[in-house]
């Protein structure tokens, strides 16, 4: 654990950013999966 005040603050900021980035990455990945699934479905529909 950090002893310096600025280092403690940096730990808090890093934790917040990590959670925010994780949520953002998850949303992006899910959006990409949905788009790819929609494209695939359209290709299958077009084949028939």
Report whether 7 contacts 1 (CB < 8 A): no
Distance CA 16, CA 38 (A): 33
CA neighbours within 13 Å on the CB side: how many for 19? 5
Give the Cα separation of 13 and 2 in Å (integer): 13
pTM score of the predicted model: 0.69
Q: Give tens-digit pLDDT for 1-48.
A: 899 999 999 999 999 999 999 999 999 999 999 999 999 999 888 877
């Amino acid at each position: 654990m950090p002893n310096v005040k600025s280092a403690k603050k940096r730990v808090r900021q890093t934790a917040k950013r990590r959670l925010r980035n994780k949520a953002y990455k998850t949303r992006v990945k899910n959006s990409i999966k949905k788009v790819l699934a929609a494209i695939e479905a359209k290709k299958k529909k077009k084949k028939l």
